[in-house]
């Protein structure tokens, strides 16, 4: 985030309705791409992916009552390559991962390092049949070979900007 003098410039890039519409589209794409799975495990990456995952789970449940939706939060700090915290654990049963189609959900995809840590966090619990990634905003600047399967919006950014999901009234803003 770049500070100009004492000011931070902010620009809204998605309002509440646009975010909701994106999540509705993603929930349809999940079912279309995964061809009516019997069971899905959604993992909201802490901390801003949690509420998005909850909304996607509700939408999937509404539109696909025959699909069982497991929903958990995933804390990836134990496997981060920067600020690693060894004592972090996840309360996710092995049964929710083993042989399941797992969908990681996060607000922003940037370098990809959080998702790399998420993959290690999931593998520590069990062996998924398949792991997919859904993000609200892909802002580019990847540092690892990671790409999302479901994207709310691609937002080209400069490296020193910061995209943030503001959870109070649920809007995505770009700060520069
Ligand atoms: O692709 P990356 O470069 O890893 O960046 C994306 C991650 O950064 C943010 O989380 P942050 O680590 O700021 O934690 P927070 O969600 O708790 O704010 C965001 O919510 C993503 O999880
Ligand atoms: O722009 C960015 C970069 C990393 N994490 C965010 O939440 N936003």
Structure confidence at residue 170 (pLDDT)? 58
Ligand (nearest to CA of 172):
2
Residue 82 lies in a domain: no
CA distance to 104, 137, 157, 173, per residue, from 154 (Å): 18, 6, 9, 13
Residue 141 lies in a domain: yes
Structure confidence at residue 117 (pLDDT)? 98
What CATH number corresponds to the domain at position 134? 3.40.50.2020
Structure confidence at residue 149 (pLDDT)? 98
Residue span of the structural domain in which 51 resides: 16-74+93-175
Residue 1 lies in a domain: no
Structure confidence at residue 99 (pLDDT)? 96
Structure confidence at residue 106 (pLDDT)? 98
Residue 86 lies in a domain: no
| Pocket residues: Cβ below 6 A from ligand 1 | 45, 47-48, 106-114
Test site for ligand 1: of 110, 134, 159, most ligand atoms within 8 A of the Cβ:
110
Structure confidence at residue 8 (pLDDT)? 81
Residue 21 lies in a domain: yes
Domain count, the chain: 1
Residue 3 lies in a domain: no
Q: Which atom of ligand 1 is nearest to the CA of 114?
A: 4
- Quote the CA–CA distance of 172 and 157 in Å, as a whole number: 14
Predicted structure pTM score: 0.94
Q: How far apart are the first and last CA of the chain?
A: 5
Q: Residues in the chain with pLDDT < 50? A: 1
Of 98, 104, 95, residue with least CA distance to 44: 104
Residue 8 lies in a domain: no
Residue 80 lies in a domain: no
Ligand 1 center–CA 114 separation, angstroms: 6
């Amino acid at each position: 985030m770049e500070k100009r003098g004492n000011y931070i410039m902010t620009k809204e890039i998605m309002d509440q309705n646009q975010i909701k519409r994106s999540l509705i589209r993603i929930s349809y794409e999940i079912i279309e791409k995964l061809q009516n799975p019997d069971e899905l495990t959604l993992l909201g990456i802490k901390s801003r992916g949690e509420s998005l995952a909850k909304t996607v789970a509700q939408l999937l449940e509404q539109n696909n009552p025959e699909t069982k939706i497991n929903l958990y939060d995933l804390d990836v700090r134990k496997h981060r390559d920067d600020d690693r915290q060894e004592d972090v654990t996840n309360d996710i049963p092995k049964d929710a991962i083993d042989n399941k189609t797992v969908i990681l959900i996060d607000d922003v995809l940037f370098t990809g390092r959080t998702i790399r840590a998420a993959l290690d966090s999931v593998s520590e619990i069990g062996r998924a049949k398949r792991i997919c990634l859904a993000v609200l905003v892909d802002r580019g600047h990847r540092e690892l070979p990671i790409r999302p399967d479901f994207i709310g919006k691609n937002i080209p950014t400069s490296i020193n900007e910061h995209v943030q999901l503001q959870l109070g009234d649920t809007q995505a803003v770009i700060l520069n």
